[in-house]
Chain A
Amino acid sequence: MVFDIEVNNKKIKARKGETILSALNRNGIKVPTLCFMEDLQPTGACRICVVEVEGREDLVPSCSQIVEEWMKIKTHSPRVIKARRTIVELLLSNHPDDCLYCERNGNCELQKLSIELNILERRIPGNKNVLKADRSSSSLIRDPKKCILCGRCVRVCEEIVGVTAIDFVKKGNECSIEPSFNRPINLSSCINCGQCIMVCPTGALYEKDHLPELLESLNNPDKHVVIQYSPTVSVTLAEEFNLKAGKDINGMLNSALRKIGFNKIFESSFSADINAIEVASELIERLKTGTNLPMFSSCCPSWVKYVEQTHPDLIPNLSRCKSPQQIMGTLIKNYYAKTNAINPEDIYSVSVMPCVAKKFEAQRDEMTSKGITDVDAVLTTRELAKLIRLYGIDILNIESELADNPLGTRSSAGKLYGVSGGVTESIIRSFISKLNEHEPVNYKITELRGVNKNRKEFKLKVSNIELGVAVVSDMINAEKLLIEIANGRNDIHFIEVMACPDGCINGGGQPIPAKKEDIKLRMKAIYDIDEKDSIKFSHKNPLVNEIYQNYFEKDKSNENLNSIYTNFNKRDILL
């Protein structure tokens, strides 16, 4: 039902049951918000979105108040503006004045609000809380003194990701957001997904910086600096340079990296191809023997940590194959070093990931063998943008180039690793081809595509083997599926789990903000590449075949192949 309400002395249309905020936004009236999160129940904590409703004694939070026909609303009356200003000024009175040195300088919601409300002086004096930053995590840094307690990180962690690693502690002015028992976050149940970073309006949460180390190696002539980038980086990086979401700038990215001075540029989609082939064989093996089913994907390090800490009994069910980042790291330090006669110790291997958990993965004990770490530094998409800006490269006005051999080609199946469901789709392509010994004509699995789906399921039958797959992102949906399986469901044999909703395109290392529409466009860009590319199967990637022939299969001891496999162990945390 649609009816008229009066806003700022003009009539606008409102729908029955919607909030004032949603009616205003649809009619082009902007009301600032801080704690508001789309798709979640409003908490009404920040009070920034208050409006004046005639007949109501106090100001009303528009994010939660349902519109009613009699309402006469003022969204920017002096009283409302004064209230909003005061609220922001109150926040500023307890906020460090170090915007110029802040991670989020220029991309901070508090900064924007302060500009919008024309705050030009410190009107409310007061002592600031002294709080220490928590640098214990290998993925992210929490700086509670910049926290404005909007509670978005707490909610995303609890209501979307389903981990509840952080919550409010203490009362009143001393209130802050901390992990359990007020201990460092590396001891908590945090799975390093970084979704909290994505929703943080200020610089209270950000990734652990790997840039300084990288710069040192770039400037060291003795170091051979090699970079790999994740499938999603090419479709999201453009957003950092103010382009619309979903623009693929793969060629320009290669060229920019080369200009910065990386010795070799490889694509993680290449190792994703290897991952798809290996996981497919692993799956066939397990289906034949009937052991450790259902099998779980293990390319999301957050999910792996979640299993290790919450469901250690399911560790054998994880695919033992390393993630694409780590496979590439291993190949760079072994295969590439050997074929090009470089000492692995001189190689500095960098990866660009849409993810902060990859920083955690890279430093896991299992990812170092014989003193050689697979990956030395992990940058997020945001850090890469910083590096490009630092080197003064006008990325949007340079010629496209190709990545380097021998680890730089890819099939579009490898590219699909960037979206939720894509991993499974690639694996199924390899799975069918392997069992039927020829490729299926219909490579697309629409059941596994699309955004904002709680769960995607698909069933197929290939040469008398029945396969049921399920795709979930975030731990809440994963947990639901695990409960079904614990209750006896057995028609699912492979489960892909990503910690971030919709997969790596919405990862914790991606450009901020990641709006809903942006995610859709990023996903579309990946599917478009799959449409356009000529190689659509992992095992059709010529360089992958070369590696199999010359490196994996030649080696009789199987040591080379084993190097791209790993182990997982039970992990104790403070719950």
Chain B
Amino acid sequence: MISNIQFLKEKVLVQNTSAYNKDVEERLKFLRRENTQIPIIYIGKGTCGIIAGAIKSTEAIKEYLSAKQITAEIIEVGCIGLCIAEPIVDIQLPGMTRLSFKNMNSENIVHVLDGIFNNNILNDFVLGQYRKKGLQSWENIPFIDSLEFFSLQNRIVIENAGIINPESIEDYIVNNGYNAFVKTIYHYTSNDICKIIEKSELRGRGGSGFPTGKKWKIAHDTASDQRYIICNANESDPGSFLDRLLIESNPHKLIEGMAIAAYGVRTSKAYIYIRSSNKLGIRRFKIAIEQAKEYGLLGENIFDSGFNLDIIIKISPGAFVCGEETALISSIEGKRGMPKLRPPYPSERGLFGKPTVINNAETLCNIPSIINNGPNWFNSIGTNSSKGTKVFSLSGKIKNTGIIEVPMGISFNDIIYKIGSGVKNNKNLKIIQVGGPAGTSIVKDKLSITVDFDVLKENGAFLGSSGIIVMDEDSCIVDLTKYYLRFLSNESCGKCIPCREGIHRMYEILDNITKRPKDEKSHQTLERFKGVMQMESLAEIIKDTSLCGLGKTAANTFISSIKWFRGEYEEHIFDRECKSGVCKELRVFNIDFDKCTGCNACPKKCPVNAIIGTAKYPHFIIEEKCIGCGACFETCKFSAIFVK
């Protein structure tokens, strides 16, 4: 019997499984674990799984197996996207479909294992079963793809994430992996590839939505002795964790996408710019590169085609601005990550002065499927102006946090209320933040707008960041805007004046209105009002004059939030109150005389001695002294303290 590597290379990749061959099919079935003799246990070990306790669960499983003397294969997989249900453990008994269990911490897992090996499935923990031909399905257990979280999704980019072993190239190849790349180098010229991508109407997922095929074509046609392709995986905005999932859970897909792109733009050098904090991703990506080299899928003269490719991992220090393409180029060149003037655009003169294509990780992960299924298949998905799917990271006050991939054209209503199954604790939704810190807020009434480059642009947002952050009625819009402005002010590179000074001033002005200095002088009050008066004009000018995308979009959150929530800003400014109680310094606590028992607990906790009262009699808070820290509120056992 030939070795796996030989088998996969010769029988699967090169022959491209054209003619039906029983032996090949049988062996593939075995490698796909469709005819296994022993139980297989899959553990979700993405970062989210590990944080939720997957490591302890693994130990518990091993202990259980050795105690009961059961032989089973344990496979570590990535994340399927439903991060809230982690740690997720799948169990596949011989001949049966794969069964997925949620919230498998070290205690639950033992019960579940006990159950399944004794023909008793604990329904409370069941997520669902995977549909697989040739395997017997479980009765009375829903299929995973019929769950609401999955049924509305169309998973192309995150296709096998959380299902296959990210550290095994074999798993990837037997699941149709590297097919597209081998097809590319055997059957297409670089021009063909550019044309196919152009025809698929794939637009860059990095923000501006530039047609990917066109970008490749420009670099392809620019005369030069060297070109570069860079995969931008410097995901640094709060609430966005898509690149992390892509690299952690299915790194080979990204490598395949990069390899096809490199072939398309005729380059032998590709860089991937990964954020340094993505440690697990970097480790898995390194393993994946080594494996791909072993299979001859990277390196020199790939599959005797004369095409060479080297993928270099460049670890990003993690600055937000380094996601901007010219800053990213400077950073790879070893310089300070500061944006440069465009033109010249990187596709003409980029890294080390050579034509460079910079694509987002998500964009590149679309490529293999387009090559496999053809451009027409791809552009049949989505809307007129936006084809394909879009991946989002759902977070904030939403029930199902995680990564989802939806076809373009779906409404935010469906995303939030169907896939995300609504707001946590059944509260009312206030806004969703789309596009990261420099994105826009969409209010409840506007949730019917659809995911589409142009529709979002009309609404002041862009599809640059994958983050959708859900805020419920308890959140304070001023505090939120302040948070984003502080983030952007810290992340500004400091090159151009409006961005460096302007964003910081906007942050300071907002910070001032969410604070109540104890003995404010009259000129300080005046300064505060003066600042408020400047906010809108400042926002406009920062947008109008900044050098790069960071500055140009920095004021977006403010502009959109003041459009919908002017009243809330005014409350902070004139009434000096924050109704949601988030702005701590504006809170004024009061004691309900009827409820207060005079237990004397709160005066002891008050850091400024603002609470007076005799034991066993209701206490009183001196408003002028109170700093709104909330220590008394947290101490009171009788719910006698409330925010006015």
Contacts and interface: CB of A to CB of B under 8 A. Distances in A.
Interface of A: 42-48, 50, 58-59, 61, 64, 79, 82-83, 86-87, 90-91, 93-94, 123-127, 148-149, 151, 167-168, 170-175
Nearest to B494: A175
Q: Sort A-B residue pairs by CB-CB distance and give the 10 closest, nearest first.
A: A175-B494, A173-B504, A90-B501, A172-B492, A125-B527, A44-B341, A47-B545, A86-B541, A172-B490, A45-B495
Given A61-B341, A86-B538, A168-B338, A124 B500 contact: no
A45 B339 CA distance: 10
Contacts of B493: 171-172, 175
Given A61-B341, A126-B505, A91 B497 contact: yes
A58 B501 contact: no
Contacts, number: 115
B509 to A, nearest CB: 8
A167 B334 CA distance: 14
How many B residues are at the interface, by size bracket? 35 or more
Contacts of A83: 541, 544-545
Given A61-B341, A167-B336, A91 B501 contact: yes
B534 interface: yes
Contacts of A59: 544-545
13 contacts: A45-B495, A47-B497, A47-B498, A86-B537, A86-B541, A90-B505, A91-B501, A125-B509, A171-B492, A173-B492, A173-B504, A175-B492, A175-B494
Contacts of A42: 341
A149 B508 contact: no
B491 A171 contact: yes
A91 B256 CA distance: 48
B492 A90 contact: no
B496 interface: yes
B399 interface: no
B333 to A, nearest CB: 14
Contacts of B541: 82-83, 86-87
A64 B341 CA distance: 8
A61 B551 CA distance: 15
B234 interface: no
Contact of A172 (B336, B494, B544): B494
B489 A173 contact: yes
A59 B541 CA distance: 9
Contact of B319 (A46, A151, A171, A174): A171
A79 B541 CA distance: 9
B545 A58 contact: yes
A148 B552 CA distance: 21
Given A61-B547, A90-B497, A125-B509, 17 more contacts: A45-B497, A47-B498, A47-B546, A58-B545, A59-B545, A64-B341, A87-B497, A87-B498, A87-B541, A90-B498, A93-B505, A126-B504, A149-B497, A172-B489, A173-B500, A173-B504, A175-B493
Interface in B436-494: 489-494
A180 to B, nearest CB: 12
B543 interface: yes
A168 B546 CA distance: 18
B298 to A, nearest CB: 35
Contacts of A149: 494-495, 497, 500
Contacts of B39: none
B319 A47 contact: no
B396 interface: no
Interface in B323-348: 336, 338, 340-341
Interface in B18-51: none
B637 interface: no
B341 A87 contact: no
A79 to B, nearest CB: 8
B504 A172 contact: yes
Contacts of B319: 171
A50 B545 contact: yes
A59 B527 CA distance: 29
Contacts of B537: 82, 86
B552 A45 contact: no
A170 B544 contact: no
Contacts of B534: 123-124
What is the predominant secondary structure among interface residues of chain A facing chain B? loop
Contact of B545 (A87, A93, A170): A87
Contacts of B530: 123, 125
B299 interface: no
A104 to B, nearest CB: 19
Nearest to A127: B508
B502 A90 contact: yes
B559 to A, nearest CB: 14
B531 interface: yes
A539 B498 CA distance: 60
A405 B286 CA distance: 78
Contacts of A87: 497-498, 541, 545
Contacts of A82: 537, 541
Contacts of A93: 501, 505
A86 B501 CA distance: 10
Contacts of B545: 47, 50, 58-59, 83, 87
A167 B321 CA distance: 18
Contacts of B497: 45-48, 87, 90-91, 148-149
B490 A171 contact: yes
Contacts of A79: 544
A172 B505 contact: no
A124 B538 contact: yes
B530 to A, nearest CB: 6
A167 B544 CA distance: 27
A58 B491 contact: no
B498 to A, nearest CB: 6
Contact of B547 (A44, A168, A174): A44
A168 B336 contact: yes
Contacts of B340: 43
Contact of B496 (A47, A171, A173): A47
Interface in B508-559: 508-509, 527-528, 530-531, 534, 537-538, 541, 543-547, 552
Contacts of B509: 125
A50 B552 CA distance: 14
B107 to A, nearest CB: 44
A2 B20 CA distance: 69
Nearest to B508: A126
Contacts of A151: 495
A217 B230 CA distance: 65
Contacts of A58: 543-545, 552
A173 B495 CA distance: 10
Contacts of B492: 171-173, 175
Nearest to A92: B501
Contacts of B508: 125-127
A45 B504 contact: no
Nearest to B530: A125
- Could you say which of A43, A50, A87, A173 has the most chain B C-beta atoms within 10 Å of its C-beta? A173
Nearest to A122: B530
Among A50, A79, A125, A149, chain B packs the most CB atoms within 10 A around the CB of A125
Nearest to A84: B545
Contacts of A61: 341, 547
Interface in B197-243: none
Contacts of A90: 497-498, 501-502, 505
A398 B489 CA distance: 57
Q: Which of B530, B531, B537, B544 has the most CB of A within 10 A?
A: B544
A87 to B, nearest CB: 5
A44 B336 contact: no
Contacts of A173: 489-490, 492, 494, 500-501, 503-504
A148 B531 CA distance: 22
Nearest to A150: B497
A202 to B, nearest CB: 13
Nearest to B320: A171
A501 B126 CA distance: 76
B285 to A, nearest CB: 27
Nearest to B319: A171
